[in-house]
């Protein structure tokens, strides 16, 4: 019995380190989100822009600033969120901030994006050094970045410095769900960053880094 107590005492710091003492909630404050399909007359092809979503982060028991990594306001989707592989995979691996779309039957709409092949190596290098942004008119654009800018973009460090914080998020529908038919859907966000995430710099040693996951509420998405 004495040996068991000693073992538990030795392991206790490990348990404390792995547990996340912070509660984090992400709420979409919009009641309905509208996405419009537009037609390119020259090629007779429809496409969708990004959409803007108003949201709020609530960290009720924070005592110091918290850091969310891989939390980019230009939000990607994740091909592993589907109805054949566990949709709660984010509870086990780090995916950062992602958006999910479901139909009216609560079935996840699997992301589908076009793979582009490049004839010239310089075009491939230029693409790999570019990142996605959203214009004021919600157009999806790519910008060529320096190495430091690429690193900052990929880390996507978001600082939580108050218990309630409003923010705007931009799901990249035109990149991942461009072929979404007109109709009604549901959209929500998931976030996860666990201890199995690749440690970069001093992230792994910073106690202010949020480790865990949270899921937002669902709101209606109408594709017109």
pLDDT digits (tens, 9 = 90+) for 58-106: 988 888 888 999 999 999 998 776 665 666 778 888 889 999 999 999 9
Query: By the 8 A CB rule, do 194 and 96 touch?
Result: no
Query: How far apart (Å, rounded) are the C-alpha atoms in residues 117 and 106?
Result: 34
Output the furthest CA–CA distance in the chain (Å, rounded): 79
- Domain presence at residue 14: no
Calculate the average pLDDT of the chain. Answer: 81
pTM attached to this predicted model = 0.82
Band of residue 135 on the pLDDT scale cut at 50, 70, 90: very high
Write phi, then psi, for 216 (nearest 5 degrees). Answer: -80, 175
Q: What is the pLDDT of residues 164-223, one digit of tens each?
A: 999 999 999 999 999 899 999 999 999 998 865 555 555 656 778 888 899 999 999 999
Residue 27 is predicted with a pLDDT of 97
- Domain presence at residue 3: no
Per the structure, the count of domains in the chain is: 1
Residue 51 is predicted with a pLDDT of 96
Mean pLDDT, residues 54-59: 95
Residue 63 is predicted with a pLDDT of 81
Tokens of 194: 């666990």
**Which tops the pLDDT comparison, 20 or 122?**
122
**Which tops the pLDDT comparison, 1 or 162?**
162
- Domain presence at residue 7: no
- Domain presence at residue 132: yes
CA atoms within 13 A on the CB side of 194: 11
The range of the structural domain enclosing residue 98 comes to: 22-223
Asked if pLDDT for residue 123 goes beyond 70, the answer is no
């Amino acid at each position: 019995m004495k040996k068991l107590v000693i073992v538990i005492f030795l392991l206790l710091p490990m348990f404390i380190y792995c547990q996340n003492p912070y509660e984090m909630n992400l709420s979409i404050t919009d009641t309905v989100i509208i996405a419009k399909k537009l037609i390119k007359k020259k090629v007779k092809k429809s496409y969708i822009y990004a959409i803007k979503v108003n949201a709020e982060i609530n960290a009720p028991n924070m005592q110091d600033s918290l850091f969310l990594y891989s939390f980019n306001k230009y939000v990607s989707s994740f091909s592993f969120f589907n109805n054949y592989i566990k949709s709660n995979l984010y509870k086990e691996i780090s995916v950062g901030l992602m958006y999910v779309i479901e139909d009216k039957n609560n079935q996840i709409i699997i992301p589908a994006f076009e793979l582009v092949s490049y004839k010239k190596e310089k075009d491939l290098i230029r693409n790999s050094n570019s990142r996605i942004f959203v214009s004021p008119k919600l157009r999806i654009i790519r910008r060529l970045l320096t190495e430091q800018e690429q690193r900052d973009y990929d880390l996507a460090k978001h600082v939580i410095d108050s218990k309630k914080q409003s923010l705007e998020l931009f799901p990249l529908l035109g990149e991942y769900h461009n072929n979404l038919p007109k109709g009604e859907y549901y959209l929500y966000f998931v976030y996860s960053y666990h201890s199995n995430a690749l440690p970069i710099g001093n992230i792994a040693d910073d106690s202010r880094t949020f480790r865990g996951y949270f899921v937002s509420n669902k709101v209606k998405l109408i594709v017109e």
